[in-house]
Amino acid sequence: MDENSKWYVVHTYSGYENKVATTIQKAVENRKLHDLIHDIRIPMETVTEVRENGTREVERKLFPGYVLIKMHMTDESWYVVRNTRGVTSFVGPGSKPVPLTEEEVVALGVETKEIKLSFTVGSNVKVIDGPFEGLTGIVESIDMENEKVQIKASIFGRETPVELEFKQIAAMQI
């Protein structure tokens, strides 16, 4: 996958989401467009329905009438998606598709980014950004979900817990 690929939102007729996704996937296979169109998703959520005969888990579309496509935008890829039966338009002003931002992609849970840390609990680290820049400390805990780390640093001669973002610290080379 190349770095020019971005997630785009395609508006479809309501109820045609699965058919559109399948048709685009077939077009990718037939025309060998794997290098242009990488992934097609229909955001779903699991909901518990309560009925008179009990409860059950049901998959429901998060955004009915929309399909997310990760693609490298070219005239050819635009043409294939735009001219698929059931597609009304790309989301964006006029006929210009607008890609989703990194924050929107993460918020939708479409793509998860893998985080590789150069430190673990008990590692010596140095603060490289923010108001505590230049301090050193020992990692107390790591919160992967919120991308935060708690370190114990010596401030004015006292051991003080400090919460920082991953990007604000670096492992110290010993």
pLDDT band at 2 (very low <50, low <70, confident <90, very high): low
Instruction: Say what the pTM is.
Output: 0.63
The DSSP output letter for 93 is S
Query: If we measure between CA atoms, which residue out of 174, 173, 167, 169 comes closest to residue 139?
Result: 169
Per-residue pLDDT averaged across 137-163, rounded? 89
Q: 170: closest CA among 132, 124, 131? A: 124
Q: Tell me where in the chain the CATH 3.30.70.940 domain(s) lie.
A: 6-108
Query: What pLDDT score was predicted for residue 174?
Result: 61
Please give the Cα distance from 143 to 115 (Å, whole number).
12
Task: Name the residue with higher pLDDT: 173 or 19.
Answer: 19
For residue range 41-93, list pLDDT tens digits in order.
998 888 888 887 888 888 888 889 999 999 999 999 999 999 999 999 898 88
Pick the CATH number of 124-171 from 2.30.30.30, 3.40.50.2020, 2.102.10.10, 3.40.50.1360: 2.30.30.30
Q: CATH says 6-108 is which class? A: alpha beta
